[in-house]
Structure 1
Amino acid sequence: MRERTAVVVGGGLAGLASAVGLARSGWHTRILERRPATGEVGAGLALPRNGVAALNTLGIEEEVVDQAGLRTLATGFVDTLGRRILTLPDTDPRVRRATTIWGFHRQALHALLHRAALREGVELVDGARVTHVSAGRPGGEPAVVRWQRDDGEHETEAGLVVGADGMWSAVRGSLHPGVSPRYSGSTSWRALLPVSALEGTGLDGRLVEYWGPGAEFGVMRVSADQVYWYGYVRQPERTVFDDELATARAYFADWAPEVVALISATTPDQLMRHDVHHLPDGPERYDRGRVVLVGDAAHGALPTMGQGAATAMEDGATLGRLAGPAHEGDLGRALAEFDALRRPRCQAIAKQARSIARVGADLGGGWRQGLRNAAFRLIPASRLVVMARGAVEWTPPEPLAPA
């Protein structure tokens, strides 16, 4: 077993970011991906400024990010009829910096990272289902990953294992069997449409989010020719609808005309839905032995902060910086520092996401809506900058000095 061999479990956004970061720091890196071929499902996502800063740290220039995604702005929140609740002014440079986002088709961001991984010499193994991980010990025995493929069972030793296998992580299950996702109480429809669907709606493609009783609807452009919408609603877990599109149309039938128009322009093959889970009680540490957890496997949060992809990019960039060549034989210190940096930040973001959900998509109807809307209309732009800065103003850590 070579000391500088890393196995990344999971080939999604978090796994690719971690693999790129480690490969750039001199690790011989292999990704084990459960799906038959590395790829990414999903519709759109908004990547805040901190996510782009992390991509830059991984060697992906901002100009390249602009080519793959679409730089735009978050405009704030409105009610079900499109009336202002909280407006993010684009004339204030401080607010504009905090509300600048990049819209992505999720597959486009995945492809960007996939190309970067190949450039760095990362080995990609698809169809590999991990069944168990032994943590090993820095300075001692290696970590061991057991996995299955069509050609049989395999066992791999590694100097470092990265659990990047999502909310239902097999790596986390091996090391933290008591930690499991919890249903948020909401499910989410999503769709990608041609940008022509915006015509006549009064929407310009910037992100706008509608809040209503137990529901949220959002829309934004994710490329020059695509627009993304989501409908996030309270619903019992594993609910089955005979007709997904008809149900979505009926649910939002009394909302603003532009919301109704976008759902009406959607065809059944463009629509998807998933129940939303999160990790309100994550692992007590992100590192154990020679294993470290990243992305949703470590800190799966509610989507209400829009930070899921961004924090995954940060994880990969941070891991590459801390586990660099200076730490031959000092992996335990590097991983402990990763935990010390990442866990408090990600826990704070997850807590804020839960708070936003309580006053946003999860808020009940009646007087609660009016009270919330009136209160939010009084929030000044300066307060918004303070609230957003902690999340979006991220810089990568300096490499640790040799001990």
Structure 2
Amino acid sequence: MTGTAIVVGGGIGGLASAVALAEAGWGTTVLERARELGEVGAGVALTPNAVAALGGLGFDDEAVAGLGPRTWATGTWDARGRPILRLPDDPGLRATTALRGVHRARLHGALLDRARALGVDVVTDARVTTVVAGAPGGERAVVHHADRAGAERAREAELVVGADGVRSAVRAALFPGRRPVYSGFSSWRAVVPGLDAGPGLAQYWGPHAEFGTMPVSDGATYWYGYVRMPAGTRLDDEHAAATARFADWADEVRRVIAATPPGAVIRHDVLHLPGGLARYVRGRVVMVGDAAHATVPTMGQGAATALEDGVCVGRIVAARVASGQPLGEALAAYDAARRPRCRALARASVASGRFGSHLGPRGQALRNAVMRRVPAAAVTRGARAVMGWTPPALP
């Protein structure tokens, strides 16, 4: 038996969930608050688990290759450009650190095209005001939303997916005590067309800051500057502020910022949800992505886990219900599969930040000396545990 589903949020996690639901035969509607769907001018490193998730959503190798160039993690340098941990150009090691450098807008557009091709109804200008969770085997869930003119509507469904990000309205309605908090860090981001900053992902660590560059689609370079900053800081000129913040860093860092058109630089405060939700399910509602487990971005797994969540909504919940499993059992199985993994990744991200970009000046020299003694193979063993995820089998 298949049913109807409402996905709240038209970002990467929401569209991944919608694709997976539609593939399982569910009639699916996406509600997006914005008037137009789209993504910001930033990049995303698709790690092997993210690529596996895209495969689970029906993207073949050619489609994945079309999203962005194949690249790899090259290592970590200090603020002056001296290597802390250089990853050698070894075929086996490169396979472990393989990435796809992708513009977020291209990934979002590919998911949107696939969702629409599968018959997903995408409704924009739909601000969710409240959610009634319903009960598996009982009353259906209800989502209330309004447009900018104030017109309100209520929609019922057998399943609701809360995929509306770190400031989730679904989470606020159903888990009112769980609010995101400021991490203490803010992040500049930009995509620079025609700039070659190197063939791989390069990261630089300095006191309370991190800078990274990566090639993305169309011969462009994506960069980010993740820095400690008071919450709510307002800057008149983001490009000038980033230039000043990294003025004494490595030549490569300063060159990338200088080559960036000022209007291309964006910034956002990094919010997270410490510990994540105690459960990813309430009634007929299942939570995915940052709405369930937003964490700091020091391991770069935000988009990957959102894609994983979406695949699992389809394979663990929707497909199993279509095969006859009760919804309550399928939702419990989703929670059991996703919550331990996402909690472990969140803890690892916090630990990585404390050891890396969150570390102050006093610990930098000691940290760098220790890391220079770490064999590259030890790093890749840890990477395999994170990035070796594959989608669950279909029932």
Q: Please give the secondary structure, in 1, of the residue aligned with 2:244.
A: helix
| Kept in 1: contact 2:96–2:384 (CA 8 A) | yes
| Kept in 1: contact 2:71–2:98 (CA 8 A) | yes
Aligned positions of 1:149-298 closer than 5 A: 149=147, 150=149, 152-195=151-194, 197-198=195-196, 203-298=197-292
Tell me which amino acid in the other structure corresponds to 1:125: V
Deviation at 1:183, TM superposition (A): 0.7
TM-score by length of 2: 0.97
Change (3 A) 1:325 1:211: closer
Tell me which amino acid in the other structure corresponds to 2:221: V
The CA RMSD measured in Å over matched residues stands at: 1.4
* Cα distance in 2, alignment partners of residues 377 and 110 from structure 1: 38
Deviation at 1:394, TM superposition (A): 0.7
| Kept in 1: contact 2:6–2:31 (CA 8 A) | yes
Q: Please give the secondary structure, in 2, of the residue aligned with 1:303.
A: coil
Q: Which residue of 2 aligns with 1:379?
A: 374
* Cα distance in 2, alignment partners of residues 178 and 131 from structure 1: 17
The farther-off stretch of 231-240 and 145-154 is 145-154
Tell me which amino acid in the other structure corresponds to 1:319: V
* Cα distance in 2, alignment partners of residues 17 and 281 from structure 1: 23
Change (3 A) 1:289 1:209: same
Tell me which amino acid in the other structure corresponds to 1:236: P
* Cα distance in 2, alignment partners of residues 117 and 242 from structure 1: 39
| Kept in 2: contact 1:54–1:317 (CA 8 A) | yes
Deviation at 1:92, TM superposition (A): 4.6
Q: Which residue of 1 aligns with 2:78?
A: 79
**1:97-133 Cα deviation digits (max 9, x unpaired):** 2210111110000011011101111000000000101
TM-score by length of 1: 0.95
* Cα distance in 2, alignment partners of residues 244 and 16 from structure 1: 31
Q: Which residue of 1 aligns with 2:339?
A: 343
Deviation at 1:42, TM superposition (A): 3.8
| Kept in 2: contact 1:214–1:361 (CA 8 A) | yes
Q: Please give the secondary structure, in 1, of the residue aligned with 2:95.
A: helix
| Kept in 2: contact 1:179–1:281 (CA 8 A) | no
**1:185-236 Cα deviation digits (max 9, x unpaired):** 11111111123x33xxxx4231000000111000011113211111111110
Tell me which amino acid in the other structure corresponds to 1:126: T
- Structure 2 residues without counterparts, runs of 5 or longer: none
Q: Please give the secondary structure, in 2, of the residue aligned with 1:26.
A: coil
Q: Please give the secondary structure, in 1, of the residue aligned with 2:291.
A: helix
**1:341-371 Cα deviation digits (max 9, x unpaired):** 00000011111110111011110013x1110
| Kept in 1: contact 2:206–2:364 (CA 8 A) | yes
| Kept in 2: contact 1:205–1:227 (CA 8 A) | no
Q: Which residue of 2 aligns with 1:130?
A: 128
The counterpart of 1:316, out of the listed 310, 317, 326, is 310
Q: Which residue of 2 aligns with 1:369?
A: 364
* Cα distance in 1, alignment partners of residues 50 and 319 from structure 2: 24
| Kept in 2: contact 1:3–1:159 (CA 8 A) | no
* Cα distance in 2, alignment partners of residues 325 and 345 from structure 1: 21
Q: Which residue of 1 aligns with 2:300?
A: 306
* Cα distance in 1, alignment partners of residues 6 and 211 from structure 2: 39
Tell me which amino acid in the other structure corresponds to 2:371: F
Deviation at 1:261, TM superposition (A): 1.1
* Cα distance in 1, alignment partners of residues 142 and 303 from structure 2: 28
Matched, 1:390 2:388: no
Deviation at 1:381, TM superposition (A): 2.2
| Kept in 2: contact 1:357–1:363 (CA 8 A) | yes
Change (3 A) 1:151 1:214: closer
* Cα distance in 2, alignment partners of residues 89 and 261 from structure 1: 24
Tell me which amino acid in the other structure corresponds to 2:143: V
Tell me which amino acid in the other structure corresponds to 1:229: W
Q: Please give the secondary structure, in 2, of the residue aligned with 1:323.
A: helix
| Kept in 2: contact 1:69–1:222 (CA 8 A) | yes
| Kept in 2: contact 1:25–1:323 (CA 8 A) | no
Q: Please give the secondary structure, in 2, of the residue aligned with 1:397.
A: coil
Q: Please give the secondary structure, in 2, of the residue aligned with 1:239.
A: coil
Q: Please give the secondary structure, in 1, of the residue aligned with 2:360.
A: coil
* Cα distance in 1, alignment partners of residues 367 and 320 from structure 2: 52
Change (3 A) 1:84 1:168: same
Change (3 A) 1:146 1:3: farther
Q: Please give the secondary structure, in 2, of the residue aligned with 1:274.
A: strand
Deviation at 1:399, TM superposition (A): 3.6
